Amino acid sequence: MIDASQEKKRLLVKVSSLYYMDGLNQQEISERLGISRPQISRMLAVAKSEGIVQISIRNPYSEEQVYERAIAETFGIHDVIVVHVPNADRRIIDQQVARAASALLESAIKDRDVVGIMAGRTIASVGREMHSIGRKNVQFVPMIGGFGSDGEAWHANSNARVFAEQFKSRHLLLNAPAVVASSQARDTFLNESEISQVLEAAKRVSLALIGIGQVTDQAAIVQSGYFTHQEMVDVSEKGAVANVCTSFLDAAGERISYDAESRMIGLSIDDIRAIPNVIAIASGGEKIEAIVSALRGKCMDVLVTDLETAQQLLEWHRSHPAR
């Protein structure tokens, strides 16, 4: 005679087969077997705990996920996405990183979200990879002023517009340069209600997409002509190794003061740290020290990068401990 435990096991096998093999959902199984949906859920959990169901995942991303976990655990951030394109050149790798960031954003952005957008070519590349998805009442907000005519295709206003077009949503414009001639000029801009309202909206965003700049002449702020070579040398001598929005950070991720800070229009790193969900996208060997600085400074919740960069930044962190 078959005992009751065997019959219970038989039922667990049946429910599991219907769910995992035949593709029925829990409600459909409930209706078919006359068992409540919560009970079906509990039976599926029991089937896994007793080894009746053993889930095997074919994971082609196992190497990347080793580094994703290592970076998240080392720096205490929520998540990391690492992409790997074997034997590809930098252009292809950067494009794949941008695609990974766009896929993440398409999932992360919800109805009625207000999304902060930074300047930079990296952010612009993410916008170009976005696809139109059904989200309602989403708004995009620039988080820093413009970098002038030379940076027109990738300053924050342009980036916000590209994202808004893809989402068929609204965007705000920050009608001010990123750097002005004097602190008095900055105060004049900030006294304009249209400009101050956009900056206040940027501080209240629910989600932000940022890049991480290195402290070299290759940084967007220098390439755009708003920072001179000597100004970049000056902040470097103060210990700066990373640039995020209007702020410069030292090797430990701490904000440093610099002369031109009083002339910058945009969010500070303290404003960015207060945003509930910050996604940073950064890759490339020239940015290793800057990325580590931003990670140490808790400037992001999620990092999107590539495998080689991930490997190098962990090694840099181990070999260059923050003081």
Interval 146-203: pLDDT, tens: 876 555 667 899 999 999 998 889 999 999 988 888 899 999 999 999 999 999 999 9
- 3 band by pLDDT with thresholds 50, 70 and 90: low
* pLDDT of 310 strictly over 80: yes
Q: Please state, rounded to an integer, the average pLDDT across all residues of the chain.
A: 89
Neighbouring C-beta atoms of residue 201, cutoff 10 Å: 17
* pLDDT of 5 strictly over 80: no
> 150 or 56: whose pLDDT is higher?
56
Q: Which CATH class is domain 4-49?
A: mainly alpha
pLDDT, position 294: 98
DSSP H helical ranges for the chain: 4-16, 26-33, 37-49, 62-75, 90-108, 121-129, 156-167, 183-190, 193-203, 220-223, 229-237, 269-273, 288-296, 307-319
- DSSP character at residue 52: S
The span from the CA of 206 to the CA of 112, in Å, is: 10
The sign of the torsion formed by the CA atoms of 160, 163, 166, 170 equals: negative
Q: Which of 124, 173, 181 is nearest to 144 (CA)?
A: 173
Stretch 12-41: mean pLDDT, rounded? 89
Rg (CA), the chain: 24
Stretch 61-83: mean pLDDT, rounded? 90
CB 217 within 8 Å of CB 232: yes
pLDDT in tens, 201-219: 999 999 999 999 999 887 7
pLDDT, position 175: 92
* pLDDT of 100 strictly over 80: yes
Residues 6 or more apart whose Cβ sits within 8 Å of residue 154: 119, 120, 121, 123, 124, 147, 220
Q: Which of 95, 104, 122 is nearest to 290 (CA)?
A: 122
- DSSP character at residue 53: S
- 99 band by pLDDT with thresholds 50, 70 and 90: very high
Stretch 100-125: mean pLDDT, rounded? 91
* pLDDT of 303 strictly over 80: yes
The span from the CA of 14 to the CA of 33, in Å, is: 10
* pLDDT of 52 strictly over 70: yes
> 39 or 228: whose pLDDT is higher?
39
Q: Which of 81, 70, 67, 66 is nearest to 301 (CA)?
A: 81
Domain ranges of the chain: 4-49, 62-319
Structure tokens at 165: 């077009």
pLDDT, position 1: 44
The span from the CA of 142 to the CA of 195, in Å, is: 11
CATH for 62-319? 3.40.50.1360
The share of the chain scoring above pLDDT 70, in percent, equals 95
Stretch 273-293: mean pLDDT, rounded? 95
DSSP H helical ranges for 191-287: 193-203, 220-223, 229-237, 269-273
Stretch 72-99: mean pLDDT, rounded? 92
pLDDT, position 283: 94
The span from the CA of 75 to the CA of 67, in Å, is: 12
pLDDT, position 171: 95
* Range scoring the smallest mean pLDDT among 71-80, 144-153, 263-272, 276-285: 144-153
The span from the CA of 67 to the CA of 90, in Å, is: 20
Distances in Å between the alpha carbon of 156 and those of 15, 86, 316? 53, 32, 30
pLDDT, position 261: 87
Stretch 106-113: mean pLDDT, rounded? 89
CB 207 within 8 Å of CB 113: yes
> 94 or 150: whose pLDDT is higher?
94
Neighbouring C-beta atoms of residue 250, cutoff 10 Å: 18
The span from the CA of 271 to the CA of 250, in Å, is: 17
CA-angle at 160, arms to 157 and 165, nearest 5° = 125
